[in-house]
Structure 1
Amino acid sequence: MKVIFRILRMLRFLLINKKLVGMISPAPPGSLGDEALISGFSALIKSKGKRFQEILVYPNTIPCENEIATDSVLNFINDGRKSNLTLAIKLLKYEHLYIIGADTLDGGYSPAKNLAWVNIANLASELGVAVSFISFSFSNEPNSSVLDALSKSNSNIKFCARDPASKNRFEQLTSKPAKQVADLAFSMVPVYDKEHVKKFRDWLESEKKAGKIIIGLNINTLPLDIPIHQIVSNFYGAIKKTLNNYENVTFALLPHDFRENQSDEAVLAQLASKLNEPDRIRLFRGPFHASEVKAVVSGIDMLISGRMHLAIAALSQGVPVFCFTYKDKFEGLMAIFGLDNTLFDKSLISSEETILSTLESAISNYAIQSAIIKEKLPSVKKLSALNVDTKD
């Protein structure tokens, strides 16, 4: 097999397409967060005059839905030497192979998937293909098998961590160097020309003209141990009091996940129905794409979110955010902007009083945060672009 690989490496200069790169997505389709990462990647690859081909490594899945810079799909079944040889022949044409790590590289969700990633990365690197793991966060407690595989991976493979804390953790745990970047989603291009986007933005604009402060609200129930009806009840009480205490406040309810077992829209729809304040509360109904909700988010004054990539959609347009956190990735995101007092533990959702306190804190501090974000944003966007920068 080694002899065959040496021959393939020598043949690569005849087969390489310098306008084509390979991409492995962080998970099967369904998450708007992952879609935002892929859209940002697409925009950056397109800006370099290139296209990408997605390599499918997940069973029973379909390609990511994406309108920019895509090429045909390459299916890969990780079942031994024969599949490795078949993949090797197809990898030869790539100028670069990018693996989008997101919050999954540390093995916290699927160690088998991450081990397949490292296998493909080593294979490509042995063939002379440039390989980068990009836009990833890394926890303090990675899976031991994945950590061992990453630590022993080919020395030519590059790693790009999306926040300072993840960079430090990754380097300390693997003894591998990592480049500091920012999340790929900062490079996603918003889409304004869809009818449902225009209609919702028209309402936001009318509220702004009327002197209203618009609070975007997202509720992510996935990491919570509280029944849905209790979550709705807690937010209902807090929002009712906020509307009574602040006559100039309105709410835009913004889902960012429509998957059956974790739909933001389901809980937000229940909340909107219970509040029954159509003049002051609107739900942006899906389904829609990550690029479309990013266009909507540009019209609000601040965002309170349980989804990190919805927060990035806001931050990337200078909109202040306040997040209910459930993983280390939120802390790293805010560290890039040097922001304090913007993160709230998910446990605060357990009572009406703590949610109300969070809303009042956001209303009091969003203007100060806005100035900080706008000052830092150009440098953060440059960090995002470094994910696909082939220079060291």
Structure 2
Amino acid sequence: MNSLKAWLRETKQTLLNAPGLLFAIDRALFSVLPGRKDTGRYSLLLAPPGGGNIGDQAMVESFLENTEGPVRIIVRQHQEVRIPAAHQDRTECVQLRSLVYGGLPLRLLDSLRYRRLLGDARSLAVVGADIMDGAYNWRASVNRSNLACLASRQGVDTRILGFSWNGKADPRALAALRRAAEAGVSLLLRDPVSAARIRVDRVEGVTETADTVFAARTLDTSAADEWLAALPPGAPFALVNISGLVEKKTPQTGEYRTLIDGLLQRGLQVVLLPHVSRPGADDMTACRAVFDGYRDPRVHFVDRLLEPAQIRALAARARLVITGRMHLAIMSLYSRVPAITLASQGKVEGLMQLFGLDELCIEPRTGFGERVLGKADTVLDRLAEVRGRIDDRLPEVQERARLNFVLKQSAQKRPSSPRVAQVRAAQ
């Protein structure tokens, strides 16, 4: 009897969370509610999950830095996103807990609030990143596409910002994205490999761009000044990230000992840098596990999550970056520093192809420590050449990233090349 009750509860919950049912109810609601205003005041952003993920925060900040006027950001919880002081006066976070991840009946209330937000929106941007193909959570992927579809049908200029596509999309996520494209949603793929994959899946309306973080406009040198004070003056260092997500699939501690030992032998200091800290994929835990195995003053551990502008400034001073997180690679390339990156979810290959650095993408299989070390040797021996290749490609990549912020229904011109603001936190 208990097992039957549990099955019934689970079945009921599955039905109430079904994206198809939620989408049908949304369409019915939207059809009977008053139409939206001709012009909206706000730029509306559907935020990524955030909450302890520097990459997610960086994408939100890049949106703010490249979008003029008042902004409303839809979040699941307020603490998932931090609004920099420079944008607080014009930015409002709207908490809709159940809009993307919830089910009936609470989802119904959030749908009504979402419809009201669209009524005064001049545009909607959905942060696509790596969460549109269903690899992590197919229901959330479908819901995001459906919400974009509904907005476009209401006449709102709607975009899914720079996202990757792994080529093995969940069929339900693929169907929802096709429906959104047919409704007029702009699909902005962030690399040529993802664009090719999604075209093979017969999705229309694809524009090739680059990750939105390449359009960032700020640097903050405070953290670099603080953490690098522990290094000998002028000492070269490698910035090394150990991904908690990769750790779930591949044991890494031994691999990173091999790698770090090799970097130390080559005269580099090593700075361990977490990029994500949240349950189930915690870089802080993974980095500390490796750091605790050393009693070497040449190995350093940044024991807190930094801000995106701080990461960019810190990466700019590194000789080399080695990372299991793609957005750290993006911020390193932004700073013209080579980034050897462990590939996961099929999303890194296209990034490296943008720079002609396909060889810096390495699968995190057993023995990857030696392979990464060998690649590091090659990069360090040819550092001027590799940096030159990044320098040659970066302006075009940044221009592609700025395409994410061009509204198709407006008369505005393409955003001009950004000035990078140098800031330093007050001591």
In structure 2, which of residues 219, 242, 247 is the aligned counterpart of residue 219 of structure 1? 242
User: Matched residues in 2 for 1:222 and 1:38: separation?
Assistant: 22
Deviations 1:191-227 (A, max 9, x none): 4254x442124456x543xxx4321111114224677
The answer to whether the Cα contact below 8 Å between 1:164 and 1:335 also exists between their aligned partners in 2 is yes
Residue aligning to 1:289: 307
TM-score of the pair, normalised by structure 1: 0.85
In structure 2, which of residues 260, 267, 270 is the aligned counterpart of residue 239 of structure 1? 260
Equivalent positions of 1:20-169 (< 5 A) are 20-45=42-67, 49-56=68-75, 58=76, 62-67=79-84, 68=87, 70-75=91-96, 77-78=98-99, 79=104, 84-153=111-180, 154-169=182-197
State how many pairs are aligned: 372
- Shifted more, 254-263 versus 265-274: the winner is 265-274
The answer to whether the Cα contact below 8 Å between 1:88 and 1:127 also exists between their aligned partners in 2 is no
Displacement, 1:188? 2.7
User: Matched residues in 2 for 1:114 and 1:191: separation?
Assistant: 32
The answer to whether the Cα contact below 8 Å between 1:311 and 1:323 also exists between their aligned partners in 2 is yes
Deviations 1:104-149 (A, max 9, x none): 1011111211222222222212221111011100111111112112
Question: Aligned partner of 1:112: which letter?
Answer: R
In structure 2, which of residues 402, 407, 416 is the aligned counterpart of residue 385 of structure 1? 402
User: Matched residues in 2 for 1:339 and 1:114: separation?
Assistant: 30
2:271 is paired with a residue whose SS is: strand
The answer to whether the Cα contact below 8 Å between 2:221 and 2:313 also exists between their aligned partners in 1 is no
RMSD between aligned residues: 2.7
Identity percentage of aligned residues? 22
User: Matched residues in 2 for 1:375 and 1:27: separation?
Assistant: 34
Question: Aligned partner of 2:354: which letter?
Answer: I
The answer to whether the Cα contact below 8 Å between 1:40 and 1:184 also exists between their aligned partners in 2 is yes
Question: Aligned partner of 2:43: which letter?
Answer: V
* Residue 390 to residue 112, structure 1, CA distance change in 2 (3 Å): same
User: Matched residues in 2 for 1:86 and 1:237: separation?
Assistant: 53
**Please, which runs of 5 or more residues in structure 1 have no aligned partner?**
none
* Residue 12 to residue 272, structure 1, CA distance change in 2 (3 Å): same
TM-score of the pair, normalised by structure 2: 0.79
2:37 is paired with a residue whose SS is: helix
The answer to whether the Cα contact below 8 Å between 1:322 and 1:362 also exists between their aligned partners in 2 is no
Equivalent positions of 1:310-321 (< 5 A) are 310-321=328-339
Q: Does 1:326 align with 2:347?
A: no
User: Matched residues in 1 for 2:281 and 2:408: separation?
Assistant: 39
The answer to whether the Cα contact below 8 Å between 1:22 and 1:55 also exists between their aligned partners in 2 is yes
Equivalent positions of 1:169-208 (< 5 A) are 169-192=197-220, 194=222, 196-203=223-230, 207-208=233-234
Q: Does 1:362 align with 2:379?
A: yes
Residue aligning to 1:8: 34
Displacement, 1:172? 2.7
Displacement, 1:32? 1.3
Question: Aligned partner of 1:180: which letter?
Answer: E
Displacement, 1:232? 2.5
User: Matched residues in 2 for 1:353 and 1:165: separation?
Assistant: 27
Deviations 1:25-62 (A, max 9, x none): 222422112111111112111xxx22321123x4x674
Deviations 1:285-305 (A, max 9, x none): 213222222221111111111
Residue aligning to 1:344: 362
1:268 is paired with a residue whose SS is: helix
Displacement, 1:362? 3.4
